[in-house]
Amino acid sequence: MSTRTVMHDADIARALTRISHEILESNKGPEGLVLLGIPTRGVTLANRIAPLISEFGGAPVPVGSLDVTMYRDDLHRNPTRAPRKTEIPSGGIDGKTVVLVDDVLFSGRSIRAALDALQDIGRPAAVRLATLIDRGHRELPIRPDFVGKNLPSARDERVNVRLAETDGIEEVTIES
């Protein structure tokens, strides 16, 4: 098995800064935005993007987490997944622009599950998707609005995002 590093800490920081600017530009400011991270690393990324948007846009952006475990279509293959906490900011999501944040977009199934989970919580005005890595191989018609890095990869390769808060190191690697 070989592993190569495709992003280091500075690359990740630059990508998140760019994503933050793109979210602000797309939304025409921070008003009405809510960031919802998909556990585990999507929550960490959302918590990094929110202060950047606040810094560049001049207003705070609420952040929460959206657990999609019970909405996944592959629970029969991996039934031992432990649900994580869903935390919706106090202002809710009704009428807001919700930006779902995830670390790696692959088949699109986690995002489909997130869209299903959102329906049980409220009715946003719009839903956008921000992902650090888009590796292709979509099985569903889902496309990210904001991407840190497009990383074409073989289906049998594994893309690992490691973040200081959860893994003690900052990097994105591909294992083949």
Tell the burial category of 49 from Cβ atoms under 10 Å away from its Cβ (0-12, 13-18, 19+): buried
Per-residue pLDDT at 84: 77
Per-residue pLDDT at 96: 98
Domain boundary assignment for the chain: 3-70+86-175
Q: What's the topology of domain 3-70+86-175?
A: Rossmann fold (3.40.50)
Q: How far apart are CA 51 and CA 121, in angstroms?
A: 24
- Report the chain (176 residues): mean pLDDT per 10 consecutive residues: 96 98 98 96 98 97 95 68 85 97 96 96 97 94 97 94 97 96
Per-residue pLDDT at 72: 79
Whether pTM exceeds 0.85: yes
Per-residue pLDDT at 79: 57
Of 59, 57, 62, 63, nearest to 21 (Cα)?
A: 57
Per-residue pLDDT at 78: 65
Q: How far apart are CA 111 and CA 108, in angstroms?
A: 5
Helix, strand or coil, per DSSP, at residue 168: coil
Per-residue pLDDT at 75: 61
Total residues found in the chain within this entry = 176
Per-residue pLDDT at 110: 93
Examine residue 40 and say whether the peptide bond preceding it is cis (omega within 30 degrees of 0): yes
